[in-house]
Amino acid sequence: MAGPRDWEISRRDLMVGAGAGAVLAATPKLAEAGASLASETRMPTLASVSFTVNGEGRRLEVDTRTTLLDALRERLQLTGTKKGCDHGQCGACTVIVDGHRINSCLTLAVMHEGSEVTTIEGLGQPENLHPMQAAFVKHDGFQCGYCTPGQICSAVAVLDEIKAGIPSHVTVELDGELLPTSDEIRERMSGNICRCGAYSNIVDAMAEVAGRRA
């Protein structure tokens, strides 16, 4: 009843901590301190999860509260993925999961059993840049660099989304051909905030990569 314990498989892949509700029973002394305390202090639940990150299988024991973002940054020490707001309001934490870009701050690590995760580290390395990374350097599509990994992960996914024919807010004809125009790029990249204001250069970088691919 006392401490965290490992996850054990039970009915419905149950991951529970120490008994129903996982509530820490109040010690007599604590109970004197305040009746509300018992319902507030809960023991963490540990769970194990396996997923692939940048092509490599990883298995982690995590506190169920651990976001995919913190699992990457703190447990796997893949700190290229950034925490700008931790609330889905900035896009710095963008990674590509099973082919789709998502905010890694708003999903739990335990929800990604079997997922394939690609982070900025997986796209390219300093000596071996992904074409999008190279275009960002060439067009100076960043300044402080903090939003940059998220911008680049988004940028790569955005060009794929356009190719796949997924419409956007600025798409004029819902049944027409989709092209990586500047307007389409700007709208689709709007979930990645850059306070340094490198937007104009990022669009140039993406247009170059889109042109090269076309």
Partner 1 sequence: MKAFSYERARTPAEAAAAAAEHEDAKFIAGGTNLLDLMKLEIETPAHLIDVNGLALDTIETTPEGGLKIGALVRNTDLAAHKRVRKDYALLTRALMAGASGQLRNKATTAGNLLQRTRCPYFYDTAQPCNKRSPGSGCAAIGGFSRQLGLVGVSDACIATHPSDMGVAMRALDAVVETVKPDGETRTIPVAEFHRLPGDTPHVENALEKGELITAMTLPAPVGGKHVYRKVRDRASYAFALISVGAVVQPDGTGRVAIGGVAPKPWRVEAAEADMKRGAKAVADGLFANARPTHHNEFKRTLAERTLGSVLTEARG
Partner 2 sequence: MPMKFNEPAGANPIDRQKVIGKPFDRIEGPLKVTGRAPYAYERHDAVENPAVGFVVGAGIAKGRIKSIDVTAARKAPGVLAVVTAETAGKLGLGKYNIAKLLGGPEIDHYHQAIAVVVAESFEQARAAAGLLRVDYAAEKGVFDLRGTKDTSVKPKPSGGDEPDSAKGDFAGAFEAAAVKLDETYTTPDHAHAMMEPHASMASWDGNKVTVWTSNQMIDWGVSDLAKTLGLPKENVRLVSPYVGGGFGGKLFLRADAVLAALGAKAAGRPVKVALPRPLVFNNTTHRPATVQRVRIGAGRDGKITAIGHETWSGNLPNGKPENAIDQTRLLYAGANRMTATRLALLNLPEGNAMRAPGEAPGLMALEIAMDEMAGKLGMDPVEFRILNDTQVDPENPERKFSQRRLSECFRIGSGRFGWSARKQPGETRDGRWLVGMGVATAFRGNLVMKSAARARLAADGRITVETDMTDIGTGTYTIIAQTTAEMLGVPLTQIDVKLGDSAFPVSAGSGGQWGANSATSGVYACCVKLREAIARQAGLDPLKADFADGQVTADGKSVALAGVANARDIVVEDGIEFGDLDKRYAQSTFGAHFVEIGVDHATGESRIRRMLAVCAAGRILNPKSARSQVIGAMTMGAGAALMEELAVDKERGFFVNHDLAGYEVPVHADIPHQEVVFLDETDPYSSPMKAKGVGELGICGVAAAVANAIYNATGVRVRDYPITLDKLLSAMPEVG
Residues of this chain that interact with partner 1 (CB under 8 A) are 12-17, 20-23, 40, 42-45, 47, 63-65, 67, 86-88, 91, 94, 100-103, 106-108, 110-111, 113, 154, 157-158, 161, 165-169, 171, 174-175, 186-188, 190-193
SS3 149: helix
φ, ψ at 88 (rounded to 5°): 70, 25
* Of the candidates 6, 97, 113, the residue with the CA atom closest to the CA atom of residue 50: 113
Binding footprint of partner 2, residue count (CB under 8 A): 75
Give 137 or 196: the residue with its C-beta nearer to partner 1. Answer: 196
131 binds partner 2 (CB under 8 A): no
Place of tokens 């190719």: 163
The listed partner (partner 1, partner 2, none) that binds 146, CB under 5 to 8 Å by sort, is: partner 2
Give 1 or 11: the residue with its C-beta nearer to partner 2. Answer: 1
Cβ at position 64, least distance to partner 1 in Å: 5
What is the distance between the alpha carbons of residues 22 and 4, in angstroms, rounded to a whole number? 10
> Binding marks (x or -) toward partner 2, 79..108, rule CB under 8 A?
xxxxxxxxx-xx-x----------------
What is the distance between the alpha carbons of residues 91 and 40, in angstroms, rounded to a whole number? 32
120 binds partner 2 (CB under 8 A): yes
What is the distance between the alpha carbons of residues 212 and 132, in angstroms, rounded to a whole number? 11
109 binds partner 2 (CB under 8 A): no
SS3 73: helix
Cβ at position 2, least distance to partner 1 in Å: 14
What is the distance between the alpha carbons of residues 142 and 147, in angstroms, rounded to a whole number? 8
Rule CB under 8 A: which of 17-76 touch partner 2?
30, 33-34, 37, 40-44, 63, 65-66, 70, 73-74
* Of the candidates 107, 101, 139, 106, the residue with the CA atom closest to the CA atom of residue 120: 101
What is the distance between the alpha carbons of residues 89 and 191, in angstroms, rounded to a whole number? 8
Give 76 or 105: the residue with its C-beta nearer to partner 1. Answer: 105
187 binds partner 2 (CB under 8 A): yes
